[in-house]
Amino acid sequence: MFGGGGVPDDLSTWGLGCLFAWQRVQTQIRVAPMGGVIGLDYAAAKCALDTEGMWTPEILRGLRIIEAEFVKAMRSEDSPGRVGKGAML
């Protein structure tokens, strides 16, 4: 069911709900003072998704998978979001 990195092999098993939820909360990413990505602000995400009736355990699991991949991508050496060569996140 799940491929590498916890991402489902078949998107339909995961559901588009997680992707729609990510669209609504991706602006709630916490950033360190020096610009490094910390991760999703789950209190703000819950508030936003509760308002739309979307906060469920399945959505939360999906958001965690998406967040992990997003943070990994932003912390990679070739990411445009990386702050300098010596940045520690």
In angstroms, the CA 3 to CA 34 distance is: 33
- Residue 46's pLDDT is what? 96
Provide the residue ranges of all domains of the chain, joining segments of one domain with +.
Answer: 12-75
**Which residues, at least 6 apart from 65, have a Cβ–Cβ distance to it below 8 Å?**
5, 6, 7, 18
Q: Give residue for tokens 């009736």.
A: 53
Instruction: Give the tens place of pLDDT for each residue, 44-73.
Output: 999 999 998 989 898 999 999 999 989 988
pTM for the complete prediction?
0.70
Query: Does residue 78 surpass a pLDDT of 70?
Result: no
Chain-centroid distance of CA 17 in Å reads 14
Which residues partner with 37 through β-bridges? Answer: 31
Q: Work out the percent of the chain whose per-residue pLDDT is above 90.
A: 36
Nearest alpha carbon to residue 66 among 83, 8, 57: 8
- Residue 83's pLDDT is what? 53
Local structure of 15: helix, strand or coil: coil
Of residues 5 and 78, which shows the higher confidence score?
A: 78
